[in-house]
Amino acid sequence: MQAKIELKGILIVNKPSGMTSHDVVDAVRKKFRMKRVGHAGTLDPLATGVLVVLIGKATKLFDQFSSFDKAYEATMTLGLVTSTADIKGKTIYERPCEDIAQTQVEEVMKKFVGEIEQIPPMVSAVRYKGKRLYQLARKGIEVKREPRKINIFHLNLLDFKRPNVKFYLECSKGTYVRKIAEDIGDVLGCGACISQIHRTKVGPFCIEKAISLDEVNETHLMRPDEYRNML
Q: Would you state the pLDDT for residue 147?
A: 87
Q: Which among 44, 63, 86, 99 is annotated as catalytic?
A: 44
Between CA 100 and CA 185 the distance in angstroms is 10
Q: Is the pLDDT of residue 144 over 50?
A: yes
Which candidate, 122, 89, 119, places its Cα nearest to that of 192?
Answer: 89
The larger pLDDT score, comparing residue 183 to residue 56, is at: 183
Q: Where in the chain is the domain with CATH 3.30.2350.10?
A: 9-67+203-230, 70-202
| Fold entry, domain 70-202 | Pseudouridine synthase (3.30.2350)
Long-range (24+ apart) CB contacts under 8 A made by 39-43 are 40/65, 40/66, 40/68, 40/202, 41/65, 41/66, 41/68, 41/70, 41/173, 41/202, 42/125, 43/15, 43/197, 43/199
Residue 97: pLDDT band with limits 50, 70, 90: very high
Q: Is the pLDDT of residue 185 over 50?
A: yes
- Region 187-193: mean pLDDT is 97
Q: Would you state the pLDDT for residue 1?
A: 40
Instruction: Say which DSSP state 89 is in.
Output: S
Q: Would you state the pLDDT for residue 2?
A: 41
The larger pLDDT score, comparing residue 110 to residue 131, is at: 110
Rg from Cα positions in the chain:
19
Q: Is the pLDDT of residue 35 over 70?
A: yes
Residue 3: pLDDT band with limits 50, 70, 90: very low
The larger pLDDT score, comparing residue 210 to residue 135, is at: 210
Q: Examine the residue annotation and report whether 44 is marked as an active-site residue of this protein.
A: yes
Q: Is the pLDDT of residue 103 over 70?
A: yes
Q: Is the pLDDT of residue 228 over 80?
A: no
- Region 181-205: mean pLDDT is 96
- Region 173-195: mean pLDDT is 95
What CATH code is assigned to 9-67+203-230? Answer: 3.30.2350.10
Q: What is this structure's pTM?
A: 0.90
pLDDT of 41-81, one tens digit each?
889 899 999 999 999 888 888 888 888 999 999 999 999 99
Q: Which segment of 52-66, 137-151, 166-180 scores lowest on mean pLDDT?
A: 137-151
Q: Is the pLDDT of residue 229 over 70?
A: no
> Alpha helices, DSSP H only, in the chain?
21-32, 62-66, 102-110, 133-138, 177-188, 224-230
Q: Is the pLDDT of residue 216 over 70?
A: yes
